[in-house]
Structure 1
Amino acid sequence: MHRRRWAILGVLMLSLLIVVLDNSILNVAIKTISTPAPTGLGASQGQIEWAINAYTLVFAGLLFTAGLVGDRLGRKKVLIGGIAVFGIGSALAAESGSPAQLIAFRALMALGAAFVMPATLAVLMNVFEREEQPKAIGIWAGGVGLAIAIGPITGGALLDHFWWGSVFLINVPIVIVALALMAWLVPDSRDPRPGRLDPVGVVLSVVGLVLLVYGIIKGGELADFTDPKVLATAGAGVVVLVGFVIFEKRSDHPSLDVTYFKNKVFSAAMAAIALVFFALMGVTFFSVFYTQSVRGYSPLKSGVLMLPLAAAQMIFAPRARLVVDRFGNRATTTAGLVLIAATLAAFATFEADTPIWLLEVIFFLMGTGMAHIMTPTSVVIMQALPREKAGSASALSNTFRQVGGALGIAVLGSVLATSYRNGVEGKLGLLPPALREKAGESIEATLGIAGKLGPQGKALVTPANDAFLHAMHVTALCGTGVALIGAVVTVLFLPGRPTAGQEGQKETELVAAAD
């Protein structure tokens, strides 16, 4: 037992906090970054999707490998290296001069973050004795929830007073403090028998996902999913991913053990996690444009509006196990997915003058649904595999969550872009031909051009809002369908109420699943 273990936990949470915080901060900055220069970068909707997904895909693709590298080289070295790369990426992202630079530097930040996440948990397991581990992991997981809650408000406050790059620059002083404390406090440790690395598998998974997501986002930008470029890129992505699965099946040291998926319960729980994040990430994406562009709220107020989503998760996640004990995994998870579907369907009724308290209620119910999906599915995943596989099962559920979210932003973002372009195109006749293409990209592009045209541009504001609201309704209904598919999967394959034999294990496994 390490005498400074609680101080070490504080340092680990600080490093984890900024990695998670950065993604939730970015959510409220989306509109500002898509505003034309000098306020933002004038990023198109597709470029904004890439700024989010470049991070997510690199992060998800490297999680397994990063854990193995930490086991092999020493967790302290990997932790310090990862947080330093994340800090450098943050400083560069803050000074980006174009959307392409921002996307590249976000990928660099993700490279660092991927090495931080698994190393924090590995160090934690090493400095705490078994009887204190559940408490420490609970606090560690609570840090993730806290970051999700304070991210949008922090981002909003920064954007109200500084330029858009401040949401990235805020990481740098925290990184410097974290590096100094890590060098002083965190002991080094490594696995005496580390697993073998799987570089081919990592490359295939990242390349396959990037090609697939690129094809989907390109289809949204062109408002045509049958374009040869779109079909060729997305098709190539699918082929590479199939190759990845075949390679992993034959490998004796796979980064993704596909034999886990022979277990129907495990597969159903993974599908539920991926589908719920698919639906939710797409909604978070369009809700920012709704609150800021259509309703006219500042980034700070927009961040505060998202608080009920995080508050509900923090209230209900620790108590969800009581619901599982009473009604079982299947009923709890299915009810959570149906609730998510209902909240997404409610978005399809929102107009420019809908009372804002209704949005708050919807966000709170969404967070409640999330809490009653994540807890039971995490427990199911842990119970479906042998205890010694807990680490890889946890990393796998994290990966599926990230990939589901990335595909949600790509697919639902593309539905939003296509629907918006089709709705607004007929109203852009007043504009010179050179500007029409740009103005049809997103509501921010239309409003940005309208602002430069003065009184003549005012005529575009109402059509832009109307086209966006229609596009948001279509996207919300697509998300509803995805959540309902998840509910069908859980009804068919998840186990019912836990048996008496499982009851004793529940507490430990719930905590192990918390990340």
Structure 2
Amino acid sequence: MGGFVTSKTEIEQSTWTPRQIWMLTVSCCAVALVVAAMAALNTALPDIARDTGATQTQLTWIVDGYTLVLACLLLAAGALGDRYGRRELLMFGLVVFAAGSAIPVFIDEPSWIIASRVVSGVGAAFVMPATLSLLTAGFPATQRSRAVGVWSGVAGSGAIAGLVISGFLIEKWSWHSIFISLAVVSGLILVASFTIASSKDEETTPLDFLGTALIATAIGLFVLGMIEAPVRGWLNPVVLALLIGGIATGVVFSFVELRSAHPLLDVGLFANRAFGSSATSLVLQFLATFGMFFMLVQYLQLVLDYSPLQSALALLPMAVPVMALSVVSPLLIPLVGLRILTSVGIALLGTGIALVTRLELGSSYVDVCIPLIVAAIGLGLCTTPATAAIVSNTPDAKQGVASAINDVTREIGSAIGVALAGSILATTYARHVQPAVDMLPEPAKEPVSGSLAAALHIAESAGSQGDQLADFAREAFIEGMNQAALTLAVIIWVSAVILGFWAPGRQKTAKALPSESTAAPLA
């Protein structure tokens, strides 16, 4: 009889109700929408520039305006969700996101497109933490990490989905169709949100206005500094002021929160090894992933001559291991612990980036797939355990803030990855292309030394010498990509060793995280 009772308990713990499945579906659709929106416009930038006359600076802010506002507001939005209701804040965010996405359909001047992205970023900041905190509040501890695993897989694959879908839309219609699609999908998810249950912190506490202002300023300054660093240079006074200002404001935020009776964020959580190492792991994961994306998308389009849609489809195989392992890895947490999953996953991610250095001028798509798959396996192993550790080591009443921490680390990591990869690639490219630049007429020197895209454009009109210039510029780009990839790989490998000592082992992880071992046989 005892065995029968245990089996029944296992079934109860491993079975999701239709209501839980529906909540998971709505949450995953919402997070996929806001993550896809980060990457979707990259394929449309040339068309937007041609149709609207947008400058390079305006094009940059069409992409970065969304990310900057999103990163600034995540923690405040998560705290508001805990206080006023997570579903309600999700729905508010979807309304704002839809409104922002609809603006370019009616007014498509560059300044209005930037404004559209800023408004959409505000909406996304309310949507993103609500999606995860609804799950952590709506699933019991024994089922939570598997639900988080599905969410992590979708969130990790959302950027690729955004590139692919936007590529299809651009092939058939104008770039306006991307904004229309974002607005329509947001509206559909909004309708579905009426059918899911809400949750909030039952204990009403005063809002931490000072902490909110400080953390928004700190993140905003730091991310803006990272955005500007590849353009202005790391030693530019403006960049240094932004980065140092962001770090200094973050330090002030920590002191304020330690002395606050009702802090926005309990900074003491970072002293918890599972929480602190997992937050750091997420920064590194997205630093590596977006740094690699930044290089490979250009390599596919400018070296292998892929179209925007083809380059997006070329990245699609990466989503398969990420999704599969994100669902499976929660079952591994109680068996091997956070330390092994984190250190092995991060190390594989670094190895995937290192394999980018094997790409050459005549490499095939198979050569591109190998680093993508290796990196995807690493990402799939460590993403869900990191997210599960963060939400499981945060009080249930503060799951909105925990979800926001999970999201903020991703945004900061993405900004650092693109900034580092972009800076190293640009500097190395400029150095290696210089012999060809010295032989060019004065008007062509600056564009050719500035980017491979500009060099190829000039090569098209250079007659018989254009092919030589194009090949030389492509070789210089590959040198820059190799240097950037090797630098990122070393950073990630060293971090994997550090996390191997920092993250808790199996026994301590089991105490920190709810075990799903009883559910494993039926999963």
Q: Would you call these one fold, judging by a TM-score over 0.5?
A: yes
Residue 373 of structure 1 corresponds to 382
Greater shift after overlay, 244-253 or 349-358? Answer: 244-253
Q: Is the 8 A contact 1:15 1:116 kept in 2?
A: yes
CA distance in 1, matches of 2:384, 2:115: 34
Cα drift, residue 149 of structure 1: 5.3
CA distance in 2, matches of 1:387, 1:180: 27
| Equivalent residues in 2 for 1:428-439, closer than 5 Å | 428-429=437-438, 433-434=442-443, 436-439=445-448
CA distance in 2, matches of 1:504, 1:229: 43
Residue 357 of structure 1 corresponds to 366
- Is 1:464 aligned with 2:473? yes
Cα drift, residue 71 of structure 1: 4.2
Q: Is the 8 A contact 1:86 1:110 kept in 2?
A: yes
Cα drift, residue 480 of structure 1: 0.5
Residue 30 of structure 2 corresponds to 15
Residue 196 of structure 1 corresponds to 206
Aligned-partner residue type, residue 22 of structure 1:
A
CA distance in 1, matches of 2:93, 2:231: 34
Residue 417 of structure 2 corresponds to 408
Cα drift, residue 137 of structure 1: 5.7
The match for 2:178 among 158, 167, 171 is 167
Residue 278 of structure 1 corresponds to 287
Deviations 1:34-65 (A, max 9, x none): 57942796764x76665444333322332232
CA distance in 1, matches of 2:355, 2:179: 33
CA distance in 2, matches of 1:74, 1:379: 22
Cα drift, residue 127 of structure 1: 7.0
Q: Is the 8 A contact 1:134 1:508 kept in 2?
A: no
CA distance in 1, matches of 2:387, 2:307: 36
Greater shift after overlay, 360-369 or 388-397? Answer: 388-397
Greater shift after overlay, 252-261 or 279-288? Answer: 252-261
Aligned-partner residue type, residue 204 of structure 1:
L
Residue 300 of structure 1 corresponds to 309
Q: Is the 8 A contact 1:39 1:164 kept in 2?
A: no
| Equivalent residues in 2 for 1:501-512, closer than 5 Å | 502=511, 505-507=514-516
- Is 1:67 aligned with 2:82? no
CA distance in 2, matches of 1:472, 1:448: 20
CA distance in 2, matches of 1:509, 1:68: 33
CA distance in 1, matches of 2:487, 2:303: 21
Aligned-partner residue type, residue 371 of structure 2:
I
Aligned-partner residue type, residue 277 of structure 2:
A
Residue 268 of structure 2 corresponds to 259
Cα drift, residue 272 of structure 1: 1.8
Cα drift, residue 267 of structure 1: 1.9
Gaps of 5+ in 1: none
Residue 33 of structure 1 corresponds to 45
Cα drift, residue 181 of structure 1: 4.3
Residue 231 of structure 1 corresponds to 240
Distance 1:294 1:134, change over 3 A: closer
Q: SS where residue 354 of structure 1 aligns?
A: coil
- Is 1:440 aligned with 2:449? yes
Cα drift, residue 134 of structure 1: 7.0
Q: SS where residue 50 of structure 2 aligns?
A: coil
Gaps of 5+ in 2: 1-15
Cα drift, residue 399 of structure 1: 1.7
Residue 220 of structure 1 corresponds to 230
Cα drift, residue 383 of structure 1: 5.2
- Is 1:494 aligned with 2:509? no
Q: Is the 8 A contact 1:313 1:368 kept in 2?
A: yes
CA distance in 1, matches of 2:149, 2:206: 30
* Alpha-carbon RMSD: 3.7
Distance 1:217 1:445, change over 3 A: farther
Cα drift, residue 336 of structure 1: 1.4
Residue 178 of structure 1 corresponds to 189
Q: Is the 8 A contact 1:89 1:108 kept in 2?
A: yes
Q: Is the 8 A contact 2:39 2:163 kept in 1?
A: yes
Q: Is the 8 A contact 2:291 2:421 kept in 1?
A: yes
Residue 150 of structure 1 corresponds to 161
Q: SS where residue 427 of structure 2 aligns?
A: helix
Greater shift after overlay, 417-426 or 127-136? Answer: 127-136
Residue 6 of structure 2 corresponds to none
Residue 246 of structure 1 corresponds to 255
CA distance in 1, matches of 2:360, 2:519: 41
Residue 10 of structure 2 corresponds to none
Q: Is the 8 A contact 2:160 2:312 kept in 1?
A: no
Cα drift, residue 374 of structure 1: 1.5
Tell me the TM-score normalized by structure 2.
Answer: 0.83
Cα drift, residue 357 of structure 1: 0.6
Residue 12 of structure 2 corresponds to none
Distance 1:39 1:365, change over 3 A: farther
CA distance in 2, matches of 1:239, 1:273: 22
Distance 1:296 1:39, change over 3 A: farther
Q: SS where residue 92 of structure 1 aligns?
A: helix
CA distance in 1, matches of 2:319, 2:48: 31
Q: Is the 8 A contact 2:102 2:183 kept in 1?
A: yes
CA distance in 2, matches of 1:296, 1:479: 25
Greater shift after overlay, 281-290 or 159-168? Answer: 159-168
Residue 116 of structure 1 corresponds to 127
Greater shift after overlay, 7-16 or 488-497? Answer: 7-16
Greater shift after overlay, 310-319 or 388-397? Answer: 388-397
CA distance in 1, matches of 2:390, 2:188: 36
The match for 1:423 among 428, 432, 441 is 432
The match for 2:219 among 181, 204, 209 is 209
CA distance in 1, matches of 2:225, 2:137: 43
The match for 1:269 among 270, 278, 281 is 278
Greater shift after overlay, 143-152 or 459-468? Answer: 143-152
CA distance in 2, matches of 1:197, 1:381: 22
Cα drift, residue 370 of structure 1: 0.6
Distance 1:330 1:128, change over 3 A: closer
Cα drift, residue 469 of structure 1: 1.0
Deviations 1:359-390 (A, max 9, x none): 11221111110111123333444555566655
Residue 345 of structure 1 corresponds to 354
Aligned-partner residue type, residue 367 of structure 2:
L
Deviations 1:219-244 (A, max 9, x none): 4224x433334333433333333333
CA distance in 2, matches of 1:24, 1:304: 14
Q: Is the 8 A contact 2:338 2:509 kept in 1?
A: no
Greater shift after overlay, 327-336 or 478-487? Answer: 327-336
Distance 1:486 1:135, change over 3 A: closer
Q: SS where residue 506 of structure 2 aligns?
A: coil
Distance 1:498 1:41, change over 3 A: farther
CA distance in 2, matches of 1:436, 1:331: 50
Cα drift, residue 310 of structure 1: 0.8
